[in-house]
Structure 1
Amino acid sequence: MDNAIKNVVGRDVSLSTLFEENRQMIENSSSRPLNHLRGQALEAFLKLGIPTNKVENYKYTNLQPLFGGDYSFCLKPYDLTGKMEDVFSCDVETLDTFTIFIVNGWYYTNNNLGDLPAGVRVGSLASLAKEDPTFLEKYYGNISPWHSDGVVALNTMFARDGFYIHIPPGVVVEKPIQVVNILMSEEALMTNQRNLIVLEENSEAKVLVCDHTLTPEKFVVNNVTEGFVASNAHLDYYNLQNQHNATTQVAGLYIEQKENSNVKTNNLTLHTGVGRNNIELKLAGKHAEGHAYGLYLLDKNQHVDNFSFIDHAVPECFSDELFKGVLDDHASAAFTGKIMVRPDAQKTNAYQTNNNLLLTRDAKINSRPQLEIYADDVKCSHGATVGQLDEEAMFYLRTRGINRDEATILLMYAFAYEVIEKIKMEPLRDQIRSLVEKRFRGELDKCLSCVVCGQKGTESSCL
């Protein structure tokens, strides 16, 4: 690959050494808002390193061997010939969105957003750092835990680009903003993408992030997204993960909410290799609402670790959390959900549930719902279940003439239904229903929600 550091993470070369050897080049080609934390992030990374399962928050996922090996880093945007529409197009005709593409962590320069509402800004984080550094410095690094999480520190060291979304006060963006993250390379690749979402007072937006791999090479993906949702603002954030088995992805979403704000997140893992999702909501203003939902469908040797932290920092806030998983073959998953109620956060309402369905004896789930409460006037609950298909329900369906395979699919779909129905975008909800059913039928060997073309007019599999 041109414009890349090659074979950068071999046995004798550490990520910190790699950064120090290339720091001048990285900083010279970047801007002040992205550079000012790199040195501090390096110091944090030298202390923390890539987490192993000896780190409490990563108890069930050892990332260190996954971040080892030989990978290249892109130093410049991937050079695509032709138009993005010739490489990737969504076939959900009813899903009308403002669409942008990110290729290997870099904002695609030929994105065509059309007519955004007045004042709304969507674009490249690297360009924002040069064109409006004061705005970016106000938010960059303020909510992500780069000082306490080695993966976020690594991202802060290397981050060069990603996307940003800025919704000004009082603006309601009716049409969703869709971000398509594409991975494509001729050799193993590591990416460190940084994103920013800012909703100012009384604004609303829906953001759909779709993760896809288009070539069969190994990828290690380290994405960090910081979100700031001001008073009376509403953000719906959906992340649809559909990547091949050779992908390792750590996706961090860190959001701070002000008074009367409402945030809904929904992580939908349809296909992956190893996935780690960090979802952190800080409710920092009275009457803020935070909703975190997730669905993971795994088979073969796939592994997903969902880690959530909902921080009730002030009184009179509400949070609701529901994650469900269906695991087949030798798949494994982990869920850690922590609700923190600070000493002054009286009249907190917080609810958390994790339900799992294991289809084989070899499938495995580790579930840790947690409450840490330092206030006495609260309503909080948490719970977790792990089970198999209901034999009574199976018997009922069989007596109605439904064969066992079809009855199994119906029961699995019924189990997943509650999370799917949390999706408020009707065209997306309909499409997810179809994809989930295909996944249960074993038909989702490629990305059925898109058409991928290696060359114009030539269709190939979405890997």
Structure 2
Amino acid sequence: MSVLVDKADLSLKYTAHYTQVKEQLFEGSSEVLNAQRTKAFQDFVMQGIPTRKNENYKYTNLNPSFLPNFNFAHKKEERKADFNEIFRCDVPQLNTNLALVFNGWFYKNENEKGDLPEGVILDSLESIAKEKPELLEKYASLAKTDEDPLVALNTAYAKDGFFLYVPKNVVVESPIQVINLLQNDKDTYTTQRNFILVEEGAKVQVLLCDHTLNLNQYLSNSVTEIFAEDNSELEFYTLQNQHNRATNLNSIFIEQQKDSRVTSHTVTLHGGLIRNNLKFILNGENAEANMYGMAFMDKKQHVDNYTEIIHAKPHCQSNQVYKNVLDENSSGAFSGKIHVVRDAQKTNAFQRNNNLLLTDEANMQTKPQLIIDADDVKCSHGATVGQIDEEALFYLRARGINEDKARLMMMNAFAHEVVKEIKLEPLRDRIDELVDKRLQGEVARCHDCAYSCDC
């Protein structure tokens, strides 16, 4: 089938599937999740799968990713996971509280309680929505189904994902690590819905690792909603390392209250087509948001990072630094929007996107945007797209360094500005190592994985 499929025809495929499995989606699910399905489905019908005519998706063609006849992972597989053997992103010195999401479904670690403080909940979203719906009901959804068709499709299909709750003034000393694995003997579509609530004065670090364990084609549509209450702190790391036949549609929505601090790191080492949507709402005075991103692309890979920060209250600060290295025929996109609403005075917002093209065939689109409705603010943005500085390369070669090593040194220096912002030292060291391997053309391997994942 040609990839030039009419938008309506391709969208109809997914609306028809929803109609076929509607009873299965509602059956056994919670009222909290079911209450959103009908409207979400209607919103998807109205919008359809986004095309390049959609301003927010103008740099990414999703048609080829939605074309295959996928097996939909709407039911949880009966399996027992041995958490002692599960791949932990190969960071041996990092001591974490471990959770597993397999094909969009949460699996508990039944063998150990871990080091989670009293009151902290790390569990299945499906289970919590049934057993403790009050933890979800008091928060209005940040993921608006009428604003993004991928969010609408996720909400219509969503059954499970991970749920994290950190109660008031609790500090989680060991990071929480969620291993997100895709594996099936058929091409598979997965839906994952995650929820994180960090209450007043609480602190936590979360590491989400995305991996594929065999070479079948995958489309993963994930939505994560995060609420950071007064004076809370959250570090959220996303490590993406999937194979070239995987499509990862990843949407994260974060709302911050006064004096909160949230830092997001997105490291894309490998993948086929990746779309990262990241939206912050700074809804309390003195909130601070930091967003760091780094992506490495080769072959015909495509990575699209779309960010939006809404400064809704005065005296808030945001900082964005995204860097990309593109090789061979790869392509990338960055769209960053900063919106300072009226009366959000004393805002300080900074955004930068730098891109390094290693070949003439690589292609990068960048679109920084500022919308400022207040008058007492400090805002700046900038973007660069270029190749390796030949003068600097000549300088290194003149000091006896061969060309390949000199290029590698310059690329590592380019990426290090983002890597150094990772606060978890064992993770930072491991990312440094993986970045070095990635720049040398070596595909990262799952050395300690119980599965066959030589991708």
TM over 0.5: yes
**Secondary structure of the equivalent of 2:156?**
helix
1:453 — aligned with what?
450
CA distance in 2 between counterparts of 1:171 and 1:316 reads: 26
1:189 — aligned with what?
188
CA distance in 2 between counterparts of 1:99 and 1:182 reads: 13
Structure 1 position 399, deviation (Å): 1.5
Cα 1:73–1:85 change in 2 (3 A) is: farther
Q: Does 1:271 align with 2:263?
A: no
Amino acid at match of 1:215: N
**Secondary structure of the equivalent of 1:119?**
coil
CA distance in 1 between counterparts of 2:368 and 2:137 reads: 35
Structure 1 position 443, deviation (Å): 1.5
2:4 — aligned with what?
none
Which residues of 2 match residues 31-430 of structure 1 at below 5 A?
Answer: 31-80=30-79, 83-110=82-109, 112-139=112-139, 142-430=141-429
- 5+ long unaligned stretches in structure 1: 1-9, 455-459
- Bigger shift: residues 78-87 or 284-293: 78-87
Cα 1:173–1:25 change in 2 (3 A) is: same
Cα offsets for 1:310-336 (capped at 9, x unmatched): 000111100000000000000000000
Cα offsets for 1:222-259 (capped at 9, x unmatched): 00000000000000000000000000111001000000
Amino acid at match of 1:126: E
Cα 1:90–1:45 change in 2 (3 A) is: closer
CA distance in 1 between counterparts of 2:309 and 2:163 reads: 23
Structure 1 position 87, deviation (Å): 4.9
**Secondary structure of the equivalent of 1:395?**
helix
**Secondary structure of the equivalent of 1:385?**
strand
Structure 1 position 56, deviation (Å): 0.3
CA distance in 1 between counterparts of 2:160 and 2:350 reads: 36
Structure 1 position 50, deviation (Å): 1.1
2:454 — aligned with what?
462
Paired residues of 1:221 and 1:250 also in contact (CA < 8 A): yes
Paired residues of 2:11 and 2:49 also in contact (CA < 8 A): no
**Secondary structure of the equivalent of 1:166?**
strand
1:24 — aligned with what?
23
Cα 1:89–1:310 change in 2 (3 A) is: closer
Paired residues of 1:100 and 1:113 also in contact (CA < 8 A): no
Structure 1 position 146, deviation (Å): 1.6
Paired residues of 1:225 and 1:254 also in contact (CA < 8 A): yes
C-alpha RMSD of the superposition: 1.6
Amino acid at match of 2:423: K
1:437 — aligned with what?
436
Structure 1 position 12, deviation (Å): 9.9
- Bigger shift: residues 73-82 or 43-52: 73-82
**Secondary structure of the equivalent of 1:452?**
coil
Structure 1 position 138, deviation (Å): 2.1
- Bigger shift: residues 180-189 or 56-65: 56-65
Structure 1 position 462, deviation (Å): 3.3
CA distance in 2 between counterparts of 1:12 and 1:161 reads: 23
